């Protein structure tokens, strides 16, 4: 698994998944790449909150689950994602940020994208050493006066991430769609690496 460059026939219609541990900067990079490529940025967390606010049937179903203190099922999230991918702006490409998180979701997403004729082009994995993420998130929590991102809790989140997401990484390696990019450095430096890896002029 390396950061070897990949070539695509239509840069303007790229369909990308961003993978990375909490604190790896994937959300920040997804926003920048969205702006540079002019494609839709889809965060499943934002999507879920928007559906709940709008009171859609899926949103109502999701709110009932969340109000009961439970996790929203993969089926509900996938339904929201399918509805979002049916919107016109995704026809020229999209970036999925933070999804899929596990192998079940990866397989379900692959089936959905195949069914709607929008197969994924590339999965970009932002690689950042765990201890750097621990110090980064702990520093951010201290600056923001938060107590939830202690070094211990961050390490536990990273352990869970590694346990659930490693099979997703392997899934995209086997599919020949994974690019690993060094996520250490300034935002613009990391962004330039991503663009270079997918052969988009920076």
Active site residues: 26, 101, 140, 146, 157
The residues facing 97 across adjacent strands are 18, 43
Tokens of 42: 């889809």
3-state class (DSSP) for residue 24: coil
| Largest separation between any pair of C-alpha atoms in the chain | 48
d(CA 74, CA 79): 8
Instruction: Tokens 């590339």: give the residue.
Output: 122
d(CA 113, CA 127): 25
Task: Calculate ∠ Cα 109-76-166, nearest 5°.
Answer: 40
Tokens of 149: 């991102």
3 Cβ contact partners less than 8 Å away, ≥ 6 residues apart:
179, 180, 181, 182, 193, 197
Give the single-character DSSP code of 107.
H
Tokens of 83: 């509805």
């Amino acid at each position: 698994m390396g950061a070897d460059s990949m070539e695509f026939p239509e840069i303007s219609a790229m369909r990308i998944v961003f993978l990375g541990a909490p604190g790896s900067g994937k959300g920040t990079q997804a926003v920048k790449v969205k702006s540079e490529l002019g494609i839709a940025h889809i965060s499943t967390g934002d999507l879920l909150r928007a559906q709940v606010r709008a009171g859609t049937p899926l949103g109502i179903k999701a709110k009932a689950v969340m109000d009961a203190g439970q996790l929203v099922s993969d089926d509900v999230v996938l339904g929201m994602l399918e509805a979002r991918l049916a919107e016109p702006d995704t026809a020229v490409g999209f970036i999925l940020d933070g999804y899929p998180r596990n192998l079940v979701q990866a397989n379900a997403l692959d089936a959905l994208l195949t069914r709607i004729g929008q197969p994924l082009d590339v999965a970009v994995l932002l690689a950042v050493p765990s201890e750097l993420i621990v110090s980064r998130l702990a520093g951010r929590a201290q600056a923001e006066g938060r107590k939830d991102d202690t070094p211990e809790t961050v390490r536990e989140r990273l352990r869970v991430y590694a346990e659930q997401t490693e099979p997703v990484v392997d899934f995209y390696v086997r599919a020949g769609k994974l690019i690993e990019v060094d996520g250490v450095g300034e935002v613009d430096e990391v962004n330039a690496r991503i663009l270079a890896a997918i052969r988009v002029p920076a």
